[in-house]
A and B are shown apart, each in its own frame.
Chain A
Amino acid sequence: MTRVAPLLEVSGLQTQFFGFGGTRVVKAVESVSFSLDEGETLGLVGESGSGKTTTCLSIVGLLPRGGRIVGGSVVFEGEDLTRKSQRELRRVRGRRIAVILQDPMASLNPLFTIFRQVAEPAFFHQQMRGRTLRARVQQLLQAVRIPSPEWRMRDYPHQMSGGMRQRIVGAIALAGGPRLVIADEPTTNLDVTIQAQYLDLLKDIQRQTGVALIFVTHNLGIVAKMCDRVAVMYAGRIVEQAPVRELFDTPRHPYTRALLGSVPKLGSKEPLYSIAGQPPNLASLPAGCPFHPRCPEVLARCATDEPKDVHAGDDSVARCWLVSDGVARS
């Protein structure tokens, strides 16, 4: 059976931050691999500091000061983005890959109109001007369900509600006509009631435009609703990757299990389960499996040898000695 080439193929991506004159190295992303097909939605799950955002920024090559991709490849539409110059990447950003950031108020420039900010990708990437540009902006605003777009496009960000702002950020993302949208915790700053609306909107847009989506979140509920596949990250590594149903039904990695276990159940009176221990310090990780100090099912081996990817089931990958030992616990 021939498979269509994936839209995005990340292989062995390694990103590190060099601080203090190169003396301190933070291994933010350590050998991350996943792939994404056209129109597919991948969820990227993990605690803060697990490397989710860094992975996303690495894909578009826009790392903060001190960050560098030191290994691996990011093949998008057949081209390795890690080999491209900043100038070439600028043609990809906003045009073929778009990003939605977490804080909608901070994402928008307070001094420019909505029109200006939404129009920019189309203006710069597709050279749209004048009436065509105005029409495009109006259409985008309609697509994200902004009422009376022809008036609202003259407004400024501070005149809109949080939910509307995030939708505008969505419009900006779509403006260039991308094939992949990376959404970094887009609903975290929104009210719960607005969240659901927003997620529905995203799903609709995806259906209409066929765009692929990487959805970064720490909320497993959203994952269940939005994603086709899920990758769980811990300490810069993907510890488990599976289709969403399979992950929820048969989580293989102890960390995944712990995450699922810590989701509070409505109506339950049990004490909240939390994972023991502290999140890892990425500058000085322990030897062996990075999760082993907190793992309720730790083996002796875990302290010395780092586990490798193990394929299991249909489409799942897990990085755990438990899985490779063939001891599959449920």
Chain B
Amino acid sequence: MSRFILRRVLYSLVTLFILSATIFVIVRLTGDPLALMAEASARPEDLDRIRHQWGLDRSWPVQYATFMQNAFKGELGKSFNYRLPVSELYFQRLPNSLTLGIAATLISLLIGVPAGIISAVKVNTWWDYVAKGVALLGLSIPGFWLGLVLILVFSVWLRWLPTSGAGDWRHVVMPALALGWYFAASMLRLTRSSMLEVLGSEYIKLARLKGLPDVVVIAMHAFKNALIPVFTLAGVNLVVMVNAAVIIEVIFAWPGIGRLLYEGIFQRDFPLVQGVVIMAGFMIVAINLVVDILYAFIDPRIRLTR
């Protein structure tokens, strides 16, 4: 088990290296940030001074080496725009994004998984068609439209919820719903197909032949097996929601990381964009690691062989 964990950690580190190098290069390919950073009347000397100040006049490999060195110390550079260390900005916004991400993940699980199970158990019946229809809607309805409609209905007409921004639980409901809705659809489809596969297996047949009640067959025998791929998806979804829910965050003026990244891109705030993407990558890798280890706890086959 420890060897298993060790190997996973090693792969994760390699992935992170590749990710950091890639994002480093790509961000610099978008062009010179000086045009946006300097004021309108800046002279070339001013631009050079600013360039030097931020270390942008050094060669790329040198910049990369410095960046990685600092990254290991936990410093991800300083934002051009906000004049704060990127890590500080990131962690300042992280709780907001986590709140939204977790709420949206919960919603996607609460809607998607039961619907997927029902859809699989009652395959090709009305339940199934309705569920598939819901999934289609979820994947097709654009997030910004749904977000605006939710605001219109719940904030303006019904006056139940506040329009935007962060605050108490009432502020989270609509953005989480708008965000989770899309992912609920993919959860539904995955749960459905996973359940269908499991329900067709021999051990389910035997469980039925044992005369076990349907509930036990589905909820215990089938569900636990079907859940495994759903976990992976939930983990990846969570990371995406935390780091890249740009549209929802812009519409709801949610002070999250997605918005930070989006504004950073438009402002050519290199350190910010780099830092956020690295953190996001780190999070994906970490979540994958956690999920892998969780698998080992759920599935004895992984746990007990090597």
Contact = CB atoms under 8 A, between A and B. Distances in A.
A101 B208 CA distance: 12
Interface residues of B, number: 22
Interface stretch (B113-121, B130-138, B281-289, B298-306): B298-306
A18 interface: no
Nearest to A172: B210
Contacts of A95: 211
Interface in A122-146: 124-125
- Which one of B207, B224, B304 has the highest number of Cβ atoms from chain A below 10 Å of its Cβ? B207
A298 B255 CA distance: 85
Main secondary structure, interface of B, reads: helix
Interface string B187-216: 000000000000001110111111111001
Interface in A154-204: 156, 158-159, 169, 172, 176
Contacts of A107: 202-203, 205-206
B206 A111 contact: no
Given A103-B202, A111-B298, A121 B225 contact: no
A216 to B, nearest CB: 14
A111 B221 CA distance: 8
A162 to B, nearest CB: 14
Interface residues of A, number: 30
B213 A111 contact: no
Interface string A273-297: 0000000000000000000000000
A158 B301 CA distance: 7
A120 B213 CA distance: 11
A60 B201 CA distance: 18
B206 A99 contact: yes
A124 B221 CA distance: 14
Contacts of B202: 101, 103, 106-107
Interface stretch (A85-93, A238-246, A249-257): A85-93
B300 A110 contact: yes
Contact of A159 (B213, B221, B225, B304): B304
Interface string A224-245: 0000000000000000000000
B82 to A, nearest CB: 49
A124 B210 CA distance: 9
A297 B201 CA distance: 42
Interface of B: 201-203, 205-213, 216, 221, 224-225, 298-301, 304-305
Given A90-B212, A111-B299, 7 more contacts: A62-B209, A99-B209, A106-B203, A109-B207, A120-B210, A158-B301, A159-B304
18 contacts: A62-B208, A90-B212, A90-B213, A93-B208, A101-B206, A106-B203, A108-B203, A108-B206, A110-B299, A110-B300, A111-B299, A120-B210, A124-B211, A125-B211, A156-B301, A158-B300, A158-B305, A172-B206
